Amino acid sequence: MANVAVLGYGVVGSGVVEVLKENSVSISRKAGEEIRVKKILDIRDFPDSPDRDLITHNPDDVFEDDSINIVVETIGGVGIAHEYTRRAFLKGKHVVTSNKELVATHGPELMKLAKECGVNYLFEASVGGGIPIIRPLNQCLAANEIVGITGILNGTTNYILTQMKREGKNFDEALKSAQQNGYAEANPAADIEGHDACRKIAILSSIAYNEFVDSKNIYTEGISNITLADMEYAEAMNSVIKLLAISKKVGDKIFARVSPAIISKNHPVANVEDVFNAIIVKGNAIGDAMFYGKGAGKLPTASAVVADVIDIVRHIDSNGRTVWKRKDYNNIIDINESTTRFFIRVSANNSEEAENYIKQVFGDVEFIKAARDSYKDEVAFVTAKAKEGELVSKKESLKASASINDIISVIRVEEE
Ligand code: HSE
Protein backbone atom coordinates (compact mmCIF):
# COMPACT_ATOMS: atom_id res chain seq x y z
CA MET A 1 0.00 0.00 0.00
CA ALA A 2 1.19 3.51 -0.89
CA ASN A 3 0.33 6.24 1.60
CA VAL A 4 -0.12 9.78 0.38
CA ALA A 5 -0.20 13.03 2.33
CA VAL A 6 -1.78 16.05 0.69
CA LEU A 7 -0.40 19.45 1.71
CA GLY A 8 -3.00 22.16 1.15
CA TYR A 9 -6.69 21.32 0.90
CA GLY A 10 -7.65 24.06 -1.54
CA VAL A 11 -9.14 23.70 -5.02
CA VAL A 12 -6.49 21.32 -6.38
CA GLY A 13 -5.69 19.50 -3.11
CA SER A 14 -9.33 18.64 -2.46
CA GLY A 15 -9.62 17.57 -6.11
CA VAL A 16 -6.69 15.19 -5.65
CA VAL A 17 -8.35 13.56 -2.63
CA GLU A 18 -11.64 13.34 -4.55
CA VAL A 19 -10.06 11.70 -7.63
CA LEU A 20 -8.03 9.25 -5.51
CA LYS A 21 -11.20 8.20 -3.66
CA GLU A 22 -13.61 8.27 -6.61
CA ASN A 23 -11.37 6.23 -8.93
CA SER A 24 -9.64 4.18 -6.24
CA VAL A 25 -10.33 0.76 -7.76
CA SER A 26 -9.03 1.56 -11.24
CA ILE A 27 -6.15 3.64 -9.84
CA SER A 28 -5.01 0.80 -7.59
CA ARG A 29 -5.23 -1.64 -10.49
CA LYS A 30 -3.12 0.63 -12.70
CA ALA A 31 -0.61 1.37 -9.95
CA GLY A 32 -0.28 -2.27 -8.92
CA GLU A 33 -1.12 -1.54 -5.30
CA GLU A 34 -3.60 0.39 -3.23
CA ILE A 35 -3.06 4.15 -2.93
CA ARG A 36 -4.73 5.90 -0.02
CA VAL A 37 -4.68 9.40 1.41
CA LYS A 38 -3.43 9.09 4.98
CA LYS A 39 -3.18 12.74 6.00
CA ILE A 40 -4.17 16.19 4.77
CA LEU A 41 -2.12 19.07 6.14
CA ASP A 42 -3.80 22.47 6.20
CA ILE A 43 -3.94 25.35 8.65
CA ARG A 44 -7.71 25.53 8.23
CA ASP A 45 -10.46 23.30 9.64
CA PHE A 46 -13.00 21.76 7.30
CA PRO A 47 -15.78 20.59 9.64
CA ASP A 48 -18.21 19.91 6.77
CA SER A 49 -15.78 18.03 4.56
CA PRO A 50 -16.06 14.26 4.17
CA ASP A 51 -12.25 14.24 4.62
CA ARG A 52 -12.30 16.14 7.95
CA ASP A 53 -10.88 13.17 9.90
CA LEU A 54 -7.75 13.20 7.74
CA ILE A 55 -6.99 16.88 8.38
CA THR A 56 -4.04 17.74 10.59
CA HIS A 57 -2.44 21.07 11.44
CA ASN A 58 0.78 19.44 12.59
CA PRO A 59 3.47 18.97 9.88
CA ASP A 60 5.14 16.24 11.99
CA ASP A 61 2.09 14.03 11.36
CA VAL A 62 3.23 13.98 7.73
CA PHE A 63 7.01 14.25 7.80
CA GLU A 64 7.68 12.05 10.84
CA ASP A 65 5.34 9.30 9.61
CA ASP A 66 7.56 6.78 7.80
CA SER A 67 4.57 5.01 6.29
CA ILE A 68 3.81 8.10 4.16
CA ASN A 69 5.96 7.73 1.07
CA ILE A 70 4.41 10.30 -1.30
CA VAL A 71 3.65 13.93 -0.56
CA VAL A 72 1.36 15.95 -2.81
CA GLU A 73 2.17 19.65 -2.49
CA THR A 74 -0.79 21.80 -3.56
CA ILE A 75 -0.13 24.76 -1.28
CA GLY A 76 1.32 26.98 -3.99
CA GLY A 77 3.83 29.81 -3.75
CA VAL A 78 7.48 29.71 -2.79
CA GLY A 79 7.22 30.07 1.00
CA ILE A 80 6.13 27.18 3.19
CA ALA A 81 5.65 24.99 0.08
CA HIS A 82 9.40 25.25 -0.54
CA GLU A 83 10.28 24.35 3.04
CA TYR A 84 7.90 21.37 3.09
CA THR A 85 9.14 20.08 -0.27
CA ARG A 86 12.74 20.05 0.99
CA ARG A 87 11.68 18.45 4.26
CA ALA A 88 9.82 15.71 2.38
CA PHE A 89 12.89 14.91 0.24
CA LEU A 90 15.17 14.82 3.28
CA LYS A 91 12.76 12.36 4.89
CA GLY A 92 12.93 10.14 1.78
CA LYS A 93 9.46 11.02 0.48
CA HIS A 94 8.61 11.58 -3.19
CA VAL A 95 6.88 14.86 -4.00
CA VAL A 96 4.24 15.56 -6.63
CA THR A 97 3.17 19.16 -7.20
CA SER A 98 1.03 21.51 -9.26
CA ASN A 99 3.07 24.47 -7.99
CA LYS A 100 4.53 26.12 -11.10
CA GLU A 101 5.89 29.08 -9.16
CA LEU A 102 8.04 26.81 -7.01
CA VAL A 103 9.23 24.68 -9.94
CA ALA A 104 9.98 27.76 -12.08
CA THR A 105 11.84 29.49 -9.24
CA HIS A 106 13.67 26.70 -7.38
CA GLY A 107 13.41 23.81 -9.85
CA PRO A 108 17.16 23.17 -10.33
CA GLU A 109 17.93 23.03 -6.60
CA LEU A 110 14.87 20.96 -5.73
CA MET A 111 15.53 18.44 -8.50
CA LYS A 112 19.13 18.12 -7.37
CA LEU A 113 18.08 17.55 -3.78
CA ALA A 114 15.46 14.99 -4.83
CA LYS A 115 18.11 13.11 -6.79
CA GLU A 116 20.54 13.18 -3.87
CA CYS A 117 17.80 11.86 -1.58
CA GLY A 118 16.88 9.09 -4.06
CA VAL A 119 13.32 10.31 -4.59
CA ASN A 120 11.30 11.89 -7.39
CA TYR A 121 9.94 15.39 -7.89
CA LEU A 122 7.13 15.29 -10.45
CA PHE A 123 5.12 18.27 -11.66
CA GLU A 124 2.94 17.30 -14.63
CA ALA A 125 0.11 19.47 -13.23
CA SER A 126 2.25 22.60 -13.15
CA VAL A 127 1.67 23.31 -16.85
CA GLY A 128 -1.52 22.91 -18.85
CA GLY A 129 -3.71 21.66 -15.98
CA GLY A 130 -5.02 18.29 -17.13
CA ILE A 131 -3.12 18.24 -20.44
CA PRO A 132 -0.26 15.73 -20.59
CA ILE A 133 2.69 17.90 -21.65
CA ILE A 134 5.58 17.53 -19.17
CA ARG A 135 5.87 13.76 -19.61
CA PRO A 136 5.46 13.90 -23.43
CA LEU A 137 8.22 16.53 -23.62
CA ASN A 138 10.48 14.63 -21.21
CA GLN A 139 9.89 11.19 -22.68
CA CYS A 140 7.82 10.78 -25.85
CA LEU A 141 9.54 13.63 -27.72
CA ALA A 142 12.98 13.00 -26.21
CA ALA A 143 14.38 11.93 -29.60
CA ASN A 144 13.79 15.41 -31.02
CA GLU A 145 15.74 18.62 -30.91
CA ILE A 146 12.94 20.92 -29.79
CA VAL A 147 13.01 24.00 -31.98
CA GLY A 148 10.17 25.99 -30.46
CA ILE A 149 7.05 26.06 -28.31
CA THR A 150 3.97 28.23 -28.77
CA GLY A 151 1.12 28.06 -26.31
CA ILE A 152 -1.95 29.41 -24.68
CA LEU A 153 -0.87 28.50 -21.16
CA ASN A 154 -3.24 30.39 -18.91
CA GLY A 155 -6.85 29.29 -18.62
CA THR A 156 -8.07 32.38 -16.74
CA THR A 157 -6.92 34.90 -19.33
CA ASN A 158 -8.11 32.75 -22.21
CA TYR A 159 -11.49 32.53 -20.49
CA ILE A 160 -11.58 36.33 -20.03
CA LEU A 161 -10.59 37.04 -23.64
CA THR A 162 -13.21 34.56 -24.86
CA GLN A 163 -15.95 36.12 -22.74
CA MET A 164 -15.02 39.60 -23.98
CA LYS A 165 -14.99 38.53 -27.63
CA ARG A 166 -18.01 36.23 -27.62
CA GLU A 167 -20.31 37.91 -25.10
CA GLY A 168 -19.00 41.50 -25.15
CA LYS A 169 -18.54 41.12 -21.37
CA ASN A 170 -16.32 43.47 -19.49
CA PHE A 171 -13.05 42.37 -17.99
CA ASP A 172 -14.14 42.36 -14.33
CA GLU A 173 -17.26 40.22 -14.89
CA ALA A 174 -15.27 37.66 -16.83
CA LEU A 175 -12.54 37.52 -14.15
CA LYS A 176 -15.12 37.01 -11.41
CA SER A 177 -16.60 34.11 -13.27
CA ALA A 178 -13.10 32.55 -13.74
CA GLN A 179 -12.49 32.89 -9.98
CA GLN A 180 -15.84 31.28 -9.16
CA ASN A 181 -14.89 28.34 -11.38
CA GLY A 182 -11.61 27.86 -9.51
CA TYR A 183 -9.43 28.74 -12.53
CA ALA A 184 -7.69 31.83 -11.21
CA GLU A 185 -4.62 32.00 -8.97
CA ALA A 186 -5.06 33.10 -5.34
CA ASN A 187 -3.81 36.48 -6.55
CA PRO A 188 -5.31 36.79 -10.05
CA ALA A 189 -2.75 39.43 -10.98
CA ALA A 190 -0.44 36.47 -11.66
CA ASP A 191 -2.86 35.37 -14.38
CA ILE A 192 -3.82 38.76 -15.78
CA GLU A 193 -0.31 40.18 -15.89
CA GLY A 194 1.08 37.07 -17.57
CA HIS A 195 3.32 35.80 -14.73
CA ASP A 196 1.58 32.43 -14.53
CA ALA A 197 2.02 31.85 -18.28
CA CYS A 198 5.62 33.04 -17.94
CA ARG A 199 6.41 30.44 -15.27
CA LYS A 200 4.82 27.76 -17.43
CA ILE A 201 6.75 28.61 -20.61
CA ALA A 202 9.91 28.73 -18.45
CA ILE A 203 9.21 25.19 -17.20
CA LEU A 204 8.43 23.84 -20.69
CA SER A 205 11.50 25.55 -22.16
CA SER A 206 13.76 24.19 -19.42
CA ILE A 207 12.65 20.67 -20.33
CA ALA A 208 12.70 21.26 -24.08
CA TYR A 209 16.15 22.85 -24.26
CA ASN A 210 17.60 20.87 -21.34
CA GLU A 211 18.86 23.89 -19.44
CA PHE A 212 17.23 26.09 -16.80
CA VAL A 213 15.23 28.93 -18.32
CA ASP A 214 14.74 31.51 -15.61
CA SER A 215 11.28 33.07 -15.72
CA LYS A 216 12.73 36.30 -14.30
CA ASN A 217 14.50 36.91 -17.61
CA ILE A 218 11.45 36.40 -19.83
CA TYR A 219 9.69 39.50 -21.21
CA THR A 220 6.12 39.35 -19.88
CA GLU A 221 3.07 41.44 -20.63
CA GLY A 222 -0.51 40.62 -19.59
CA ILE A 223 -3.97 41.33 -20.98
CA SER A 224 -5.11 44.14 -18.68
CA ASN A 225 -4.80 46.75 -21.46
CA ILE A 226 -6.76 44.78 -24.08
CA THR A 227 -10.12 46.36 -24.90
CA LEU A 228 -13.21 45.40 -26.88
CA ALA A 229 -12.14 47.99 -29.47
CA ASP A 230 -8.81 46.14 -29.96
CA MET A 231 -10.82 42.99 -30.52
CA GLU A 232 -12.94 44.71 -33.17
CA TYR A 233 -9.79 45.75 -35.03
CA ALA A 234 -8.49 42.18 -34.78
CA GLU A 235 -11.79 41.01 -36.26
CA ALA A 236 -11.30 43.46 -39.15
CA MET A 237 -7.94 41.72 -39.73
CA ASN A 238 -9.69 38.32 -39.75
CA SER A 239 -7.76 37.65 -36.54
CA VAL A 240 -8.20 37.20 -32.80
CA ILE A 241 -6.25 38.31 -29.73
CA LYS A 242 -4.70 35.64 -27.49
CA LEU A 243 -2.21 35.69 -24.63
CA LEU A 244 0.63 33.74 -26.26
CA ALA A 245 3.67 32.24 -24.58
CA ILE A 246 6.46 31.59 -27.05
CA SER A 247 9.95 30.21 -26.87
CA LYS A 248 12.47 29.31 -29.57
CA LYS A 249 15.99 27.99 -29.59
CA VAL A 250 18.24 30.47 -31.43
CA GLY A 251 21.83 29.24 -31.61
CA ASP A 252 23.05 28.79 -28.04
CA LYS A 253 20.43 31.19 -26.68
CA ILE A 254 16.68 31.13 -26.20
CA PHE A 255 14.05 33.59 -27.29
CA ALA A 256 11.07 33.63 -24.92
CA ARG A 257 8.16 36.01 -24.53
CA VAL A 258 4.67 36.21 -23.01
CA SER A 259 2.35 38.86 -24.46
CA PRO A 260 -1.02 39.42 -26.06
CA ALA A 261 -0.76 38.71 -29.76
CA ILE A 262 -3.01 39.22 -32.77
CA ILE A 263 -3.12 35.93 -34.66
CA SER A 264 -4.95 34.99 -37.84
CA LYS A 265 -8.12 32.94 -37.44
CA ASN A 266 -6.24 30.26 -39.40
CA HIS A 267 -3.59 29.92 -36.67
CA PRO A 268 -3.90 26.50 -34.98
CA VAL A 269 -4.60 28.07 -31.55
CA ALA A 270 -7.03 30.75 -32.76
CA ASN A 271 -10.08 28.67 -31.92
CA VAL A 272 -8.84 27.56 -28.49
CA GLU A 273 -11.40 29.19 -26.23
CA ASP A 274 -12.62 29.41 -22.63
CA VAL A 275 -10.40 27.72 -20.06
CA PHE A 276 -8.77 25.49 -22.66
CA ASN A 277 -5.02 25.62 -23.22
CA ALA A 278 -3.12 24.52 -26.31
CA ILE A 279 0.58 23.95 -26.75
CA ILE A 280 2.34 23.48 -30.07
CA VAL A 281 5.74 21.83 -29.81
CA LYS A 282 7.98 21.96 -32.86
CA GLY A 283 10.55 19.16 -33.01
CA ASN A 284 13.12 18.47 -35.71
CA ALA A 285 11.87 14.91 -36.20
CA ILE A 286 8.17 15.09 -35.37
CA GLY A 287 7.41 18.49 -36.93
CA ASP A 288 4.50 20.11 -35.09
CA ALA A 289 2.69 18.30 -32.27
CA MET A 290 -0.25 20.01 -30.58
CA PHE A 291 -1.56 19.35 -27.06
CA TYR A 292 -5.02 20.58 -26.16
CA GLY A 293 -7.28 20.34 -23.12
CA LYS A 294 -8.55 21.99 -19.97
CA GLY A 295 -5.71 24.09 -18.63
CA ALA A 296 -7.15 24.89 -15.21
CA GLY A 297 -9.78 23.80 -12.74
CA LYS A 298 -10.08 21.40 -9.84
CA LEU A 299 -10.48 17.99 -11.44
CA PRO A 300 -8.43 18.45 -14.64
CA THR A 301 -5.46 19.58 -12.54
CA ALA A 302 -6.07 16.84 -9.96
CA SER A 303 -6.06 14.33 -12.84
CA ALA A 304 -2.47 15.31 -13.70
CA VAL A 305 -1.34 15.22 -10.04
CA VAL A 306 -2.79 11.76 -9.49
CA ALA A 307 -1.18 10.48 -12.71
CA ASP A 308 2.20 11.48 -11.25
CA VAL A 309 1.35 9.70 -7.98
CA ILE A 310 0.51 6.54 -9.95
CA ASP A 311 3.76 6.85 -11.92
CA ILE A 312 5.75 7.02 -8.68
CA VAL A 313 3.98 3.98 -7.22
CA ARG A 314 4.63 2.00 -10.40
CA HIS A 315 8.34 2.87 -10.28
CA ILE A 316 8.75 3.32 -6.53
CA ASP A 317 12.42 2.32 -6.45
CA SER A 318 13.59 4.34 -9.42
CA ASN A 319 14.66 7.91 -9.51
CA GLY A 320 17.13 9.81 -11.60
CA ARG A 321 14.99 12.17 -13.53
CA THR A 322 16.86 15.04 -15.13
CA VAL A 323 18.23 17.97 -13.18
CA TRP A 324 18.10 21.36 -14.93
CA LYS A 325 21.50 23.02 -15.07
CA ARG A 326 21.70 26.76 -14.44
CA LYS A 327 23.85 28.55 -17.04
CA ASP A 328 26.40 30.99 -15.67
CA TYR A 329 25.19 33.59 -18.19
CA ASN A 330 21.74 34.93 -19.12
CA ASN A 331 20.63 32.44 -21.79
CA ILE A 332 17.58 34.50 -22.80
CA ILE A 333 17.82 36.85 -25.79
CA ASP A 334 17.15 40.51 -24.92
CA ILE A 335 13.61 41.33 -26.11
CA ASN A 336 14.94 44.50 -27.76
CA GLU A 337 17.06 42.36 -30.09
CA SER A 338 14.10 40.33 -31.38
CA THR A 339 11.99 41.32 -34.36
CA THR A 340 8.23 41.44 -34.63
CA ARG A 341 5.30 43.19 -36.32
CA PHE A 342 3.17 45.58 -34.28
CA PHE A 343 -0.45 46.62 -34.52
CA ILE A 344 -0.66 50.27 -33.40
CA ARG A 345 -3.73 52.45 -32.81
CA VAL A 346 -3.45 56.20 -32.46
CA SER A 347 -6.02 58.95 -32.02
CA ALA A 348 -5.61 61.58 -34.70
CA ASN A 349 -6.96 65.07 -35.29
CA ASN A 350 -6.22 64.81 -39.00
CA SER A 351 -6.26 61.26 -40.33
CA GLU A 352 -4.67 62.00 -43.68
CA GLU A 353 -1.74 63.88 -42.15
CA ALA A 354 -1.39 61.23 -39.47
CA GLU A 355 -1.21 58.46 -42.09
CA ASN A 356 1.47 60.33 -44.03
CA TYR A 357 3.46 60.90 -40.85
CA ILE A 358 3.13 57.24 -39.83
CA LYS A 359 4.53 56.21 -43.25
CA GLN A 360 7.49 58.52 -42.72
CA VAL A 361 8.24 57.00 -39.31
CA PHE A 362 7.51 53.32 -39.99
CA GLY A 363 7.96 53.03 -43.77
CA ASP A 364 5.85 50.31 -45.26
CA VAL A 365 2.72 49.83 -43.10
CA GLU A 366 -0.71 48.32 -43.62
CA PHE A 367 -3.60 50.55 -42.47
CA ILE A 368 -6.55 48.81 -40.81
CA LYS A 369 -10.09 50.17 -40.96
CA ALA A 370 -12.35 49.13 -38.09
CA ALA A 371 -15.96 48.36 -38.93
CA ARG A 372 -17.58 51.01 -36.74
CA ASP A 373 -17.79 54.77 -37.31
CA SER A 374 -16.97 55.44 -33.67
CA TYR A 375 -13.31 54.88 -34.52
CA LYS A 376 -13.22 57.56 -37.22
CA ASP A 377 -10.84 59.73 -35.19
CA GLU A 378 -8.33 56.91 -35.03
CA VAL A 379 -5.65 55.56 -37.32
CA ALA A 380 -4.66 51.91 -36.91
CA PHE A 381 -1.87 50.15 -38.75
CA VAL A 382 0.41 47.12 -38.75
CA THR A 383 4.14 47.68 -39.11
CA ALA A 384 6.62 45.63 -41.09
CA LYS A 385 8.87 43.36 -39.03
CA ALA A 386 11.26 45.47 -37.02
CA LYS A 387 13.49 45.22 -33.97
CA GLU A 388 11.55 45.62 -30.72
CA GLY A 389 14.22 48.02 -29.46
CA GLU A 390 13.39 50.51 -32.24
CA LEU A 391 9.78 50.85 -31.13
CA VAL A 392 10.47 53.17 -28.20
CA SER A 393 11.97 55.94 -30.34
CA LYS A 394 9.34 55.44 -33.06
CA LYS A 395 6.58 55.83 -30.49
CA GLU A 396 8.21 59.07 -29.31
CA SER A 397 8.24 60.30 -32.92
CA LEU A 398 4.52 59.53 -33.23
CA LYS A 399 3.76 61.49 -30.08
CA ALA A 400 5.72 64.45 -31.44
CA SER A 401 3.45 64.78 -34.47
CA ALA A 402 0.84 67.58 -34.43
CA SER A 403 -1.63 65.31 -36.23
CA ILE A 404 -1.49 62.54 -33.58
CA ASN A 405 -3.00 63.07 -30.13
CA ASP A 406 -2.16 59.83 -28.40
CA ILE A 407 -1.10 56.21 -28.80
CA ILE A 408 -4.04 54.02 -27.77
CA SER A 409 -2.77 50.44 -28.21
CA VAL A 410 0.30 48.51 -29.22
CA ILE A 411 -0.15 44.76 -29.74
CA ARG A 412 2.23 42.30 -31.35
CA VAL A 413 1.15 40.49 -34.51
CA GLU A 414 2.28 36.87 -34.58
CA GLU A 415 2.36 34.92 -37.81
CA GLU A 416 3.40 31.37 -37.03
N1 HSE B 1 -4.48 30.14 -12.83
C2 HSE B 1 -4.06 29.11 -13.70
C3 HSE B 1 -4.73 29.29 -15.06
C4 HSE B 1 -4.39 27.78 -13.12
O5 HSE B 1 -5.71 30.05 -15.12
O6 HSE B 1 -4.29 28.72 -16.04
C7 HSE B 1 -3.77 26.62 -13.78
O8 HSE B 1 -2.37 26.65 -13.73
**Is the distance from the beta carbon of residue 183 to the nearest atom of ligand 1 less than 6 Å?**
yes
> What's the 154 CA to ligand 1 centre distance in angstroms?
5
CA–CA dist 246, 303 (Å, integer): 26
The response to whether residue 185 sits with its C-beta less than 6 Å from ligand 1 reads yes
295 close to ligand 1 (CB < 6 Angstrom) = yes
Mean pLDDT, residues 38-49: 97
Contacts of residue 274, Cβ cutoff 8 Å, sequence gap at least 6: 155, 158, 159, 162
Rounded to the nearest angstrom, the distance between the alpha carbon of 339 and the centre of ligand 1 is: 29
Which alpha helices (DSSP H) does 74-188 contain, by range?
Answer: 80-90, 100-116, 134-135, 155-167, 171-180
Stretch 243-270: mean pLDDT: 97
Of 16, 336, 282, the closest CA to residue 141 belongs to 282
Ligand 1: residue of 196, 274, 277, 305 to mutate (most ligand atoms within 8 A of CB) is 196
Say whether pLDDT at 275 is over 80.
Answer: yes
Ligand 1, atom nearest to 98 Cα: 8
Q: What is the mean pLDDT of the chain?
A: 95
Instruction: Express each pLDDT in 156-202 by its tens digit.
Output: 999 999 999 999 888 888 999 999 989 999 899 999 999 999 999 99
Higher-scoring residue by pLDDT: 259, 321: 259
Q: Which atom of ligand 1 is nearest to the CA of 178?
A: 5
What digits encode the pLDDT tens for the residues 121-163? 999 999 999 999 999 999 899 899 999 999 999 999 999 999 9
Which carries the bigger pLDDT value, residue 269 or residue 318? 269
User: Sorting pLDDT into bands at 50, 70 and 90, what band is 107?
Assistant: very high
DSSP-based three-state secondary structure for 252: coil
Q: Which residues pair with 263 in a beta bridge?
A: 240
167 CB burial (10 A radius; 0-12, 13-18, 19+)? exposed
Strand, helix or coil at 207? helix
Give the pLDDT score at 155.
97
Q: Is 101 in the pocket of ligand 1 (CB under 6 A)?
A: no
| Cα(153) to centroid(ligand 1), Å | 8
Output the pLDDT for position 137.
95
Mutational pocket test of ligand 1: of 159, 191, 193, 200, the residue with most ligand atoms within 8 Å of the beta carbon:
191
Q: Assign 258 a pLDDT band (cuts: 50, 70, 90).
A: very high
Nearest-CA residue for ligand 1 atom 7 is 296
| Confidence check: pLDDT of 414 > 70 | yes
In the 3-class helix/strand/coil scheme, how is 25-42 assigned residue by residue? HHHHHHHCCCEEEEEEEC
**Is any ligand 1 atom within 6 A of the Cβ of residue 105?**
no
Ligand 1 pocket member 156 (CB < 6 A)? yes
| pLDDT reported for residue 114 | 96
CB 124 near ligand 1, within 6 Å? no
**Strand boundaries in 92-235, DSSP class E:** 94-97, 121-122, 146-152, 219-220
Give pLDDT, residue 316.
77
Q: Residue 90: what are its φ and ψ, rounded to 5°?
A: -65, -20
Across 275-302, average pLDDT: 96
> Residue 319 has what pLDDT?
66
Q: Which uninterrupted H or E stretch holds 367?
A: strand 366-368
User: How far apart, in whole angstroms, are the C-alpha atoms of residue 86 and residue 109?
Assistant: 10
Q: What does the pLDDT read at residue 179?
A: 92
> In the predicted model, what is the mean pLDDT of residues 289-299?
96
Going by pLDDT thresholds of 50, 70 and 90, the confidence category of residue 373 is confident
Q: Looking at the annotation, which residues are catalytic? A: 200
pTM: 0.96
pLDDT digit string, tens, across residues 189-199:
999 999 999 99
Q: Is the CB of residue 97 below 6 angstroms from any atom belonging to ligand 1?
A: no
- Grade residue 320 by pLDDT with cuts at 50, 70 and 90: low
Please tell me the residue having the least CA distance from ligand 1 atom 4.
296
CA 263 / ligand 1 centre spacing (Å): 22
7 in Cβ contact with 86 (< 8 Å): no
pLDDT for the residue numbered 357: 96
Give yes or no for residue 76 CB within 6 A of ligand 1. Answer: no
Atom number of ligand 1 nearest to Cα 184: 1
Q: What are 333-365's pLDDT values in tens digits? A: 999 999 999 999 999 999 999 999 999 999 999
Integer Cα distance of 236 and 372 in angstroms = 10
Residue 170's pLDDT is 86
Among 68-77, 228-237, 254-263, 319-328, the range scoring the smallest mean pLDDT is 319-328
